[in-house]
Amino acid sequence: MMAKIVQGSGFRGTVNYVMDKKDARLLAGNGVLLNDKESIIKSFITQSKMKPNISKPVAHISLNFSEQDKSCLTDKFMVGIANEYLEKMGYGDTQYIAVRHFDTKHPHLHLVINRIGNNGNRISDKNEKLRSTKVCKELTEKYELYLAKGKEKVNEHRLREPDKTKYEIYNILKDAIPNCKNWRELIVQLHRQGVKVDFKYKGKTKEVQGVIFSKNNLIFNGSKVDRQFSFSKINYQLNNNNYQSIVKTEQAFWQSNKTQSAQNILGGWLANTYPQYNEDIAEQKREEFNRRKRKKRKGYRM
């Protein structure tokens, strides 16, 4: 469950938007006349005049649920969750309507709320988005609804710029980073897919402080694409990828050493991994390997 909050200045435009959608279904309301659309609008406007100096008395909140919860999201169930959400957000004592839409694959409903409460005071919106995120998480866990991870359930085909390009970069990074062992490899892979990489430096030094990705003439800091794509986190992941690659190579080498001659193994490994090495270089590597092996045996003497 996620919520999108918008402040508005006019009830007429907001009510018309939520109720004129195809198949829109009015599920509930509080403190307004529900005879028809015009009655609802006039009810909102009348109460908002108790605080005429407030320029944006409209709170328009859409509550969005995962498509995976579609089977359990009856109208009654959604109204119950909406009422809990309103109470926890401080909108329990004011006018509202709840309207369900069916124009997307994921279930969702729209709440039109009067920020001027029944007592004539404006309801505070301080830290509203942060509080909303917390409330949504609480209700999702309480009712065991599906909790999407990160950006996995975003309908990219519905996005507009700059979000459309940002999600393109997100998906490209998500697929490319696990397959790269350093920044050079990553930059090459991203370049092939139309993503340019730049770095931010500390003052006039060479110390990197951040990474910038650009595509379609749009620019995003790494952490703005997603928190996992800040310079430090990408750098850590690349170093870890490189380390894991080295460990796997060494493990494969020593595993083979159990059944074959160490010199033959080393020579074959060098030939396969570094075909540009000539026999002289291979011989040097074999000698170095043997020296290390002798030192190792010597270290176990009592």
Protein fold of 2-142: BirA Bifunctional Protein; domain 2 (3.30.930)
- Give me the mean pLDDT over the 21-39 stretch: 95
User: Is the confidence at residue 292, as pLDDT, over 90?
Assistant: no
Q: State whether residue 91 is helix, strand or coil.
A: coil
Give the model's pLDDT for residue 235. 94
Cα 51 from Cα 100, distance rounded (Å): 29
Confidence (pLDDT) at 121: 96
- Beta carbons within 8 Å of 220's beta carbon, 6+ residues apart: 162, 165, 166, 169, 212, 213, 214
pTM for this structure?
Answer: 0.54
301 or 280, which is more confident? 280
Measured distance CA(89)–CA(122) in Å, rounded: 13
pLDDT for 52-61, tens place per residue?
999 999 999 9
pLDDT digits (tens, 9 = 90+) for 66-89: 888 998 999 999 999 999 999 999
Output the pLDDT for position 154: 59
**Which of 76-80, 196-200, 240-244 has the least mean pLDDT?**
240-244
Confidence of residue 300 (pLDDT cuts 50, 70, 90): very low
pLDDT for residue 184: 95
Give yes or no for a contact between 59 and 5, defined as CB atoms under 8 angstroms apart.
yes
User: Please, are residues 129 and 5 in contact by the beta-carbon 8 Å criterion?
Assistant: yes
In the chain, domain spans: 2-142, 156-235
Taking alpha carbons only, the member of 128, 96, 90, 99 closest to residue 113 is: 96
